[in-house]
Amino acid sequence: MLTDWLHWLTTLRFDELAVILGVLLFVDSTRYVYGTLCMAAVDVVRGLSNWLRGVRPATEYSQCPTVCVLLVGHNEGDTIADALESMWGRYPRLELIVVSDGSTDGMVEIAQQFAAEHAGVLVLSREERGGKSSALNWGLRYTRAEIVVCMDCDSRFSDNALWEIVQPFADPQVGAVSATVEAWNAFHNLCTWLQAYEYRQTIFMGRQMADRFNTLAIVSGAFGAFRRELLERIGGWDVGPGEDGDVTLRIRRLGYRIAAAPQASCLTKVPTEWDRLFQQRRRWDRSVVTYECRKHFDMAYFWQRHFRWNNFVLFFERWFFNIYCLAHWWLYGMWLLWIFTGNAGNVLVLLYLCLLTMELVQTLLLLGYSHSPGRDLRVSLILPFYPLYQAFLKTADAVAVIEELFFRRSKQDNFVPAKVRDKTWHW
């Protein structure tokens, strides 16, 4: 079989090879592969220059603003104690606010017990669920800290996470900081293992790259930091789903930069079942239509007062890769299989090997940037399955975009309680 495939490959003309691999090499790969290669090249040159000049990186944290961590949850009684323990005593100027959003599983009692034994912890509880956005806004009213950190109740901070995430605020133009989110249950099964690798590439590596180009468009709801005065200035969080991306764009609209703190990391539980993962990604991927194509579309108007070229580049990148290229990926793939009908299997193998090679390049870059290369190497052993996982994700992307473009499916999303969703403006 291998001999037959190699024979077929050697018989391809250059134009046929270009047809099969051209889009993959010159369009799809530009988003992450070539971008991270350029980032790595710049960092190597910069590091070499600093070494020659005797410049050493700072070894002490210079920023220590007051910080409030908001933990919002619904029925998170089995995780809230561990989440609180993961940050207690890790930062000197810290207050914790737990907001129970209509919980009925004992979350409030567990949080209150922790608050009784630890100073600086406030527990807020309401009987009816109002959704994550309203719960965050309620908690925001009870703090005067300079920096507000949002954290999911099923997440765990690394030891220096809070110190790391506040350092970029030394720049007064930084309005929010995106942290690194990793899979806590990475090796539970194939589904979680693939997500663990994806998170390392798209969040740890991808957001560093977006930070360099000033096109970072999201601060994860699982772990992210904001200037409190900016949150109050924009009126807090709007009703989600996708409220983390929405609030980030609203801060960018004010002219502030979104920075990345790659060494500020947290562990969070990821879906363990394929159907739950598919539903999660459908919900996430609808946001590109809701926000970049509707609610914040005017940020790309060059005649508007708040227009900035980096915002236009951000929006163009989202439109091009998340909508145009997504449709093109499916249509082009079907066209390829049609014109190479007799060799469809050979074409798929060639595409798979090309994708695998590009992922291998990204894996080497990941290991070069990693502060835990042993764990990342273990995570990367799932690499042979990743091209198939990407096809799974593109299927979820396509369903989400079609649902939102033509049916506004976010209007029926149970992520937000119906009583709140029905009274909210739908973009």
What is the model's pLDDT at position 25?
A: 84
- Percent of the chain past pLDDT 90, that is, above it, reads 71
Alpha-carbon distance of 14 to 78, in angstroms, equals: 59
| Confidence grade of residue 414 (pLDDT, cut at 50, 70, 90) | confident
Residue indicated by tokens 């391809």: 12
In a domain, 9, yes or no: no
pTM: 0.94
In a domain, 145, yes or no: yes
| Confidence grade of residue 276 (pLDDT, cut at 50, 70, 90) | very high
User: What is the number of domains present in the chain?
Assistant: 1
In a domain, 30, yes or no: no
| Confidence grade of residue 406 (pLDDT, cut at 50, 70, 90) | very high
In a domain, 205, yes or no: yes
Alpha-carbon distance of 349 to 43, in angstroms, equals: 34
- Percent of the chain past pLDDT 70, that is, above it, reads 100
Domain that holds residue 167: 67-300
Alpha-carbon distance of 193 to 270, in angstroms, equals: 10
In a domain, 242, yes or no: yes
pLDDT digits (tens, 9 = 90+) for 46-91: 999 988 888 887 768 999 999 999 999 999 999 999 999 988 889 9
Length of the chain as a residue count: 427
pLDDT digits (tens, 9 = 90+) for 194-219: 999 999 999 999 999 999 999 999 99
In a domain, 389, yes or no: no
What is the model's pLDDT at position 40?
A: 92
- Is residue 367 classed as helix, strand or coil in its secondary structure? helix
Q: Under a CB-based contact definition with an 8 Å cutoff, are residues 27 and 324 in contact? A: no
Sign of the torsion angle spanned by Cα atoms 175, 267, 69, 264: negative
Sign of the torsion angle spanned by Cα atoms 332, 335, 340, 343: positive
Of 163, 155, 152, the C-alpha closest to 93 is: 163
Give one DSSP letter per residue of 368-422, joined into a string: HH-S-HHHHHHHHTTGGGHHHHHHHHHHHHHHHHHHHHHH-GGGG-TTS-HHHHT
Beta strands 147-152 and 257-268: pairing type?
A: unpaired
pLDDT digits (tens, 9 = 90+) for 128-153: 999 999 999 999 999 999 999 999 98
Radius of gyration, CA atoms only, the chain: 23
95 half-sphere exposure, CB direction, 13 A CA radius = 16
Q: Would you tell me how many other CB atoms lie within 10 Å of the CB of residue 410?
A: 23
Alpha-carbon distance of 48 to 145, in angstroms, equals: 39
Averaged pLDDT of the chain = 92
Per-residue pLDDT, averaged over 241-259, amounts to 93
| Confidence grade of residue 257 (pLDDT, cut at 50, 70, 90) | very high
pLDDT digits (tens, 9 = 90+) for 282-329: 999 999 999 999 999 999 898 887 789 999 999 999 999 999 888 888
Residue indicated by tokens 């764009």: 249
Tokens of 72: 């919002």
| Confidence grade of residue 413 (pLDDT, cut at 50, 70, 90) | confident
Alpha-carbon distance of 287 to 293, in angstroms, equals: 9
In a domain, 128, yes or no: yes
What is the model's pLDDT at position 424?
A: 78
CATH number, position 112: 3.90.550.10
Whether residue 241 has a cis bond before it, omega within 30° of 0? yes
In a domain, 253, yes or no: yes
Task: Enumerate residues 6+ apart whose C-beta is below 8 A from 418.
Answer: none
| Confidence grade of residue 241 (pLDDT, cut at 50, 70, 90) | confident
